[in-house]
Amino acid sequence: MQLISRDQWGARPPKSAFTYVGSTQGVKIHYEGTHVPSDLASADQHGRCAGRMRDLQASHQANTQEKYICVAYSAVVCPHGAVFEGRGLHHLQGANGPGLNSADYSVCAMVGDSGLTQPTDAQLNGIRDAIEWLRASGGAGDRILGHRDGFPTDCPGGPLYEWVKAGAPRPGAGTGPVAPPPPMGGFPAWPGRYLRNYTSGEDVRAWQQRMAQRGWRIGVDGEFGPASEKVCRAFQAEKGLGQDGVVGPATWSAAWSAPVT
């Protein structure tokens, strides 16, 4: 998973404070519902996606009818598979409709009703990444629905809704690792597995090295043991993350993106 934080994509502050949500029943899937340029999906166009996020936020904050305080979605996934943090974890999102916003998180794909209408495989994998992040770190339940489920709308469009109805599977599940999206924001993408006690590898070493660079006293040996778990819990407490001692997408991202305090 490549998680791009609000700071990294240049988000404005919300117009008022987010409302806390402890957990949800699941996640609803959305699309933009407007024209999305087809060439946005080209491999060399990933640099445009952060600007599109800023435009989306500006549009939502200027919407006098809906009165959004920020971009409405919990997360947005670009055609290259990167997950852009929207309102984020444990915050009431605003996209599902009156009376429905507290029931589920929302994930929007950068596809529309013209131009780019078919989600890419990387994008579908990114949506799954976002769902798993919301489950692991945000208390999301198991259900996955389309926006149109329980609300009168065409969202998330035909192709994406067919995927949701099929159970939102990862493309090519079981056929090998998925190529990561292009790097953005100056830090490595989450390795795709949760680092916890008794895991080992170069991904563990990279996280340990980063924590040492931040000033934490930690061995850099590629072995995640009780000492690494202790540092992880302390770091999570410092940054307001769930204190489970496991390096998931949010903790990994924060190691590179959060201010050193």
Segment 86-96, tens digit of pLDDT: 999 999 999 87
Q: Report pTM.
A: 0.68
Token code pair at residue 5: 């934080």
Alpha helix segments (H runs only) across 20-120: 49-61
Task: Give start-end residues of each CATH 1.10.101.10 domain in the chain.
Answer: 199-257
Instruction: Quote the pLDDT of residue 259.
Output: 86
pLDDT of residue 191: 83
Q: Are 106 and 112 in contact (CB under 8 A)?
A: no
- pLDDT value at position 2? 85
Which strands make up the sheet holding 3-4, listed edge to edge? 3-4, 83-85, 75-77, 104-109, 24-31, 140-146
Chain segment 114-165, per-residue pLDDT in tens: 999 999 999 999 999 999 999 989 999 999 999 999 888 999 999 999 999 9
> Per CATH, is 199-257 categorized as 1.10.101.10?
yes
For the chain, give every residue range classified as CATH 3.40.80.10. 3-165
Helix (H/G/I), strand (E/B), else coil: 229 = helix
| C-alpha separations of 131 from 3, 66, 139, 208, 232 in Å | 12, 25, 11, 26, 23
Residue 173 confidence (pLDDT): 56
Residues of the chain with pLDDT under 50: 174-184
- Cα separation, 155 vs 108, in Å, equals 10
Model pLDDT, residue 180: 46
Asked if residues 2 and 186 have their Cβ atoms less than 8 Å apart, the reply is no
Give 189-217 as a 3 state SS string: CCCCCCECCCEECHHHHHHHHHHHHCCCC
* Cα(109)–Cα(49) distance, integer angstroms: 11
pLDDT of residue 176: 38
Q: How far apart are CA 2 and CA 81, in angstroms?
A: 8
**What CATH number does domain 3-165 carry, 3.90.470.10, 3.40.630.40, 3.40.50.970, 3.40.80.10?**
3.40.80.10
Place of tokens 């980063």: 210
